[in-house]
């Protein structure tokens, strides 16, 4: 794969990974991004379909434009679903950037290719995020951007074909400061027979 990916053990990668929401402005180079993509495509894939396709966005003006569109579409969707969470008010703030000023956005897309394509893309996303953590990078899934990334105007700008869907938007960059683990519930076992 590359010497960029260190030999962090699996347990440390899984339990150490965080959703990072503060980034340095330093851009990530192609060699590093290529390692992340190589890790992503090693994910399990149903029927060996490998439905994933990738879009990398590093243009700050384009990231801002997508963020602005994402804020509007996500707030409208949340309102439609009658979500009353106070945390959604951040989406109405002009200075809020849904990508947290990360220097890179990796969008994992799926061409309409079977019932497991979405699951395969999310498995690739997990590999990518674990590899990023092992390389000392931060990452975060930005689900609030998915609707905006599937707007035809944005798809055209990003080169996403009409028969392809943006599934997993993931920001990546060098963390600024420390990210703390979030609490997790114990596994809920429905049966153990």
pTM of the model: 0.92
Q: In what order do the strands lie in the sheet with 104-111?
A: 52-57, 104-111, 164-173, 138-141
- Yes or no: say if 40 and 108 are a contact pair by the CB < 8 Å rule: yes
Any idea where the domains of the chain sit in the sequence?
A: 10-173
What lies within 8 Å, CB to CB, of 61 at 6+ separation is none
CATH topology for 10-173? NADH Oxidase (3.40.109)
Instruction: Name the DSSP class of 58.
Output: -
Q: What is the pLDDT of residue 77?
A: 74
Q: What is the pLDDT of residue 1?
A: 45
Residue of 65, 75, 3 whose CA lies nearest to 34 = 3
The rounded Cα 175 to chain-centroid distance in angstroms is 15
Tokens of 118: 């979405």
Q: What is the pLDDT of residue 8?
A: 83
- Residue given tokens 């000392």 in the structure block: 136
pLDDT tens string 123-163 = 999 999 999 999 999 999 999 999 999 999 999 999 999 99
16, containing H or E segment? helix 10-16
CA angle 66, 94, 148 (to 5 degrees): 20
10-residue mean pLDDT profile of the chain (193 residues): values are: 68 92 96 97 95 97 96 79 64 90 98 88 98 96 96 97 96 93 91 95
């Amino acid at each position: 794969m590359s010497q960029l990916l260190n030999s962090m053990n699996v347990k440390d990668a899984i339990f150490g990974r965080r959703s990072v929401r503060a980034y340095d402005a330093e851009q990530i180079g192609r060699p590093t991004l290529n390692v992340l993509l190589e890790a992503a495509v090693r994910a399990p894939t149903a029927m060996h379909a490998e439905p994933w396709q990738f879009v990398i966005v590093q243009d700050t003006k384009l990231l801002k434009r997508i963020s602005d569109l994402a804020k509007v579409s996500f707030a409208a969707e949340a309102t439609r679903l009658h979500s009353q969470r106070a945390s959604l008010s951040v989406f109405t703030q002009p200075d809020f950037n849904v990508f947290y000023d990360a220097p890179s956005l990796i969008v994992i897309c799926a061409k309409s290719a079977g019932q497991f394509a979405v699951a395969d893309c999310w498995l690739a996303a997990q590999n990518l995020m674990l590899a990023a953590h092992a390389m000392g990078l931060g990452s975060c899934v930005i689900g609030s951007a998915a609707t905006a990334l599937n707007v035809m105007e944005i798809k055209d700008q990003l080169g996403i074909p009409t028969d392809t869907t943006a599934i997993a938007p993931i920001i990546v960059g060098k963390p600024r400061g420390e990210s703390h683990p979030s609490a997790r519930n114990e596994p809920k076992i429905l049966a153990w027979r």
